Structure 1
Amino acid sequence: MNDNQIELGFGPMSSESIEAVYRYSNYNRRRLMLIASKNQIDHSGGYVNNWTTDQYAAYISKMKELYPQAEVLVCRDHCGPGFNGNDDLSDVYKTIDADIKNNFDLIHIDFCHIKGDKDHQLSESKKVIEYCKKLNPKIKLEVGTDENLGINYSINNLDEIEKEVDYFTEFCQPDFFVVQTGTLIKEVNQVGNFNQEFITDASKILQNRNIKLKEHNADYLSEDEINKRIGIVGAMNIAPQLGVVQTMTVLNKCLIYGIDFTDYANEVYNGKKWSKWLNTNTPENKFLCIAIAGHYHFASSTYQRLIEQLNKQEDIVETIINNLTEIINHYAKTRE
């Protein structure tokens, strides 16, 4: 990778998004990351195809065979208690066991939801990192224990970042450190505000320790906004945008071919996964709710019936992959 390339992590929102990542990497010789959350894929299953980690890894193996020139890091995003509604630490260790057994390349340790103070948060993070390194000494690590709330941090927080980074580097060498850059996703928009001065200073702290600054919630950025990050942000994650584009692709094609998607729409709306994404709109805007939460229901029979009907009109999977590839290319194309 050249110095102008920001490393990119994309959420495995669906089989199509995973294939889009592998296909892009294969044909563009660009290293990419897949960043699976515990909600999406886990040892006991997740909303992406109802896959366990083992089943996800089996699909990844197929992608590697299909796209042998691809370089894709298989990563665990937000590995910590509370991210899937389960606060039990034993569940976190089960996730790690399954991930490392299935040859994941990187694990993001995030204990921001653990009950207790900051010292407890850090000490438990240390224990789980040491456990990861014991199972696989070569496992790559991402750390950062704060939720991204889209807050513009001040110079006072630089001391906190430096202190936390130095704590971790005493016993491991993280590849990435998550810093809140000010980004925040709501509905189908980037509503945050990139705090460039603060992030530049934070990046210098990390670069001096050979660690890349990782930005989460980097969806819906314009080309100009991406350009601002070159040389400052070392990596960024994009996920909900892929889910929204796939949902809208399917619904638009249904509108074109006169296919009724009422059952799927009702399932998505009644599932209420859209509630955390709303900003200025209300639940009465049902179509927006369906657009922002449709990906949580791609494994449903109502969605699969739509895909079956659309496949009679065109290769809908190929259409979806092509549209998702446009997002990847928007972020991945080299900027001088």
Structure 2
Amino acid sequence: MANVKPVEQPGGRYGIPSPLGVGPMSRNSIDACIEFAYRHEFNLMLIPSRRQIEAAALGGGYVEGWDTEAFAEYVRKRDPKHLLMLCRDHGGPYQLPTERASGLTPEQALDSATVSFVEDIRCGFELLHIDTCMDVDGPAEHSLAVERLVELYGRCVEAARVENVDLRFEIGFEDQGVDTNDPAEFDEQLHDVLARLRAADLPAPTFVVAQTGTKVLETTNTGALRTAPAAVEYAVRALSDLTQKSGLALKAHNADYLSFAEIGRLRTAGVHAMNIAPEIGVAETRALLELLEEVGLRNARDSFLAMAYESGLWRKWMIQGTPDDDLRRAIIAGHYMFGTEAFVQLKESVSATVARRGIDLDQYLRLRIEHVIGRYATLL
């Protein structure tokens, strides 16, 4: 990996805490972020979704079964220099699957999201992504999404005031797609939201999420950045100019599986920060499978693949019409298994076996995760 330059400390240009957000897909992914940050003196944002890490009152998350408090305590005990910033990714109504499944009304979903955000603030999260693009039965209409965003924003600002903590925000207007935003429409939306925030006497956000031609499905990036890179660069440059005129930073979501050239193109076009997550989980899964194959633990490999496939958690990631490939589906869902009791038992046996060959299983997996992080940090 090329040399990684330490990132500007918080409070630098546009107040960016870090140019890279990483999803905490597992305990190993969290530890890999900590080790990478300390090895390279590089600030990172940890960006759990509500499915991954959630307030105890709302059932906790699938990563190690941790609730928000347990996750925050785990990171802070291992990060004395505060190189990692705890950030909420896609917080908002109907971002927790159970809110849709149980048919919560919009008011109830807003209250549920508020419980989640307030617990984030209490536990020391420093940046909240308020994402109100979802409704109970599909995408939320834009004006309604903005109304809910301003309401939640105000609730969070008040909660931060009560806790006497500084808080940053990230906002976006729609679910991630394959194309870029139309700059003129984006400009209108951005000015509308900022005007409403000012009218409510609320602070401006740090980050604005735009459609940057990046979209993850299966184990690839299907966005227009890959099929029409020049057009995407042109549009993203216009979007970045608009955010900078408002003193805000542009963030790209779904930036996984990009090449050095694609990362560099987005950076050159004016993207200030990127989020990656699914690729981290797939990298750890593939590393585990390769090691199991290498040491001849075929039964363990087959058991792991079976539990991942049977979970069905690969379904939301599939490209419509993709030919059946059970191995790929299992790899996509593999990281969801890492916090389950069945996997923990399997892992204990595997760890003991590979240790006799001088291999530290967790270290082996973490190094593979760090390799992915480094591909982005090198250019950002």
TM-score class, shorter: over 0.9
Q: In the alignment, which of 250, 253, 259 is matched to residue 288 of structure 2?
A: 250
Q: In the alignment, which of 195, 198, 209 is matched to residue 167 of structure 1?
A: 195
Indicate the SS of the match to 1:229: helix
| Aligned partners of 1:26 and 1:70 also within 8 Å | no
| Aligned partners of 1:203 and 1:213 also within 8 Å | yes
The aligned counterpart of 1:237 is: 275
1:136-151 → structure 2 map (5 Å cutoff):
136-137=160-161, 138-151=166-179
Matches of 1:308 and 1:98 in 2, distance apart?
33
| Aligned partners of 1:274 and 1:293 also within 8 Å | yes
The aligned counterpart of 1:130 is: 154
Q: Which amino acid aligns with 1:142?
A: E
Matches of 1:147 and 1:280 in 2, distance apart?
18
Q: Identity over aligned residues, as a percent?
A: 30
Task: Give structure 2 stretches of 5+ with no counterpart.
Answer: 1-6, 101-108, 226-231
Q: Which amino acid aligns with 1:318?
A: Q
Structure 1 residues 22 and 70: CA distance shift in structure 2, 3 A? farther
| Aligned partners of 1:263 and 1:302 also within 8 Å | no
The aligned counterpart of 1:186 is: 217
The aligned counterpart of 2:72 is: 57
| Aligned partners of 1:75 and 1:104 also within 8 Å | yes
1:1-336 → structure 2 map (5 Å cutoff):
1=7, 7-43=19-55, 44-64=59-79, 68-85=80-97, 86-87=99-100, 88-114=109-135, 117-137=141-161, 138-167=166-195, 169-170=197-198, 171-194=202-225, 195-231=232-268, 232-259=270-297, 260=299, 261-279=301-319, 282=322, 284-312=324-352, 313=354, 314-334=359-379
CA deviations over 1:31-82 (Å, ceiling 9, x no partner): 1100000010101211111111111112112222xxx335111000001111
Question: How far did residue 140 of structure 1 move?
Answer: 0.7
Matches of 2:340 and 2:321 in 1, distance apart?
26
| Aligned partners of 1:23 and 1:70 also within 8 Å | no
The aligned counterpart of 2:105 is: none
Q: Which amino acid aligns with 2:149?
A: S
Higher helix share: 2
Q: Which amino acid aligns with 2:265?
A: K
Q: Which amino acid aligns with 1:198?
A: A
Question: How far did residue 145 of structure 1 move?
Answer: 2.5
Question: How far did residue 282 of structure 1 move?
Answer: 4.1
Indicate the SS of the match to 1:36: coil
Question: How far did residue 157 of structure 1 move?
Answer: 2.4
Q: TM-score, normalised by structure 1?
A: 0.92
Task: Give structure 1 stretches of 5+ with no counterpart.
Answer: none
Aligned length: 331
Indicate the SS of the match to 2:125: coil
CA deviations over 1:226-284 (Å, ceiling 9, x no partner): 11122400110000000001111111111112221323222211111111212267473
| Aligned partners of 1:283 and 1:289 also within 8 Å | no
Matches of 2:19 and 2:192 in 1, distance apart?
23
Matches of 1:108 and 1:162 in 2, distance apart?
15
Matches of 2:327 and 2:145 in 1, distance apart?
40
Indicate the SS of the match to 1:167: helix
Q: TM-score, normalised by structure 2?
A: 0.82
Question: How far did residue 151 of structure 1 move?
Answer: 2.2
Question: How far did residue 169 of structure 1 move?
Answer: 4.9
Q: Which amino acid aligns with 2:289?
A: L
Q: Which amino acid aligns with 2:65?
A: N
Matches of 2:258 and 2:125 in 1, distance apart?
28
Matches of 1:297 and 1:167 in 2, distance apart?
44
| Aligned partners of 1:79 and 1:92 also within 8 Å | yes
Indicate the SS of the match to 1:273: coil
Indicate the SS of the match to 1:220: coil
Indicate the SS of the match to 1:45: coil
| Aligned partners of 2:236 and 2:266 also within 8 Å | no
Structure 1 residues 9 and 15: CA distance shift in structure 2, 3 A? same
Question: How far did residue 167 of structure 1 move?
Answer: 3.0
Matches of 1:148 and 1:296 in 2, distance apart?
22
